[in-house]
Amino acid sequence: MKSLGLALLTVMAVGCHFDKLFNANGGSQAQPGGTAPAATHLIFATQPTNSSAGATISPPVRVAAMDDQGDTVTTFHGTAAMAIQRDGSALGGARLSGTTTSVPFVNGIATFPDLRIDQPGLAAYTLKARNGELSDVESGSFYVGP
């Protein structure tokens, strides 16, 4: 029976990503005696959803700092900012309000809890997240109704 268990463990070990197996959220963390993986880009972890003019976008928009393997870099710190990238309003003067600047990354995630757009759109909106160190990222399209 011991040999069966050892054989199973050996087969499992061949293709197993132990860093993900023992890291509860699958994120990248520094290994003992090693260095933390570097964040290379941002993604929208939670995309903006359709809303009404002046209403808070729910659930909160979240941006993650990612490494080149596609894992969240939980050790990344700093801040993020959010702006309208594509303005879907009729006159092109829509304003994004709420907490739009200096949102801290906590465990590699920046959460924007209270974003609102003041004008309904005739077309789709997109948002842009930025951080001074990493490339900007554009959200997927969403609509703002009356």
Does the residue 113 lie in any domain?
yes
pLDDT in tens, 3-29: 444 443 333 444 444 344 334 445 545
Strands 116-117 and 103-106: unpaired
pTM of the model: 0.77
Does the residue 12 lie in any domain?
no
pLDDT in tens, 98-139: 999 999 999 999 999 999 999 999 999 999 999 999 999 999
Does the residue 22 lie in any domain?
no
Q: In the chain, where do the E strands start and end?
A: 41-46, 51-52, 61-66, 79-86, 96-97, 103-106, 109-112, 116-117, 126-130, 137-138, 144-145
Does the residue 45 lie in any domain?
yes
What is the span of the domain harbouring residue 140? 30-145
CATH of the domain at 46: 2.60.40.720
What is the separation of C-alpha 131 from the centre of its chain, rounded to a whole number of angstroms?
Answer: 12
Return the number of other C-beta atoms located less than 10 Å from residue 103's C-beta.
23
Q: Give residue 30's pLDDT.
A: 52
41 forms beta bridges with 66, 135
Does the residue 13 lie in any domain?
no
- Residue 63's Cβ-side half-sphere holds a number of Cα atoms within 13 Å equal to 31
Does the residue 118 lie in any domain?
yes
- Coil vs helix vs strand at 103: strand
Q: How many domains does the chain have?
A: 1
Return the number of other C-beta atoms located less than 10 Å from residue 73's C-beta.
24
pLDDT band at 36 (very low <50, low <70, confident <90, very high): confident
Does the residue 9 lie in any domain?
no
Does the residue 116 lie in any domain?
yes
- Coil vs helix vs strand at 107: coil
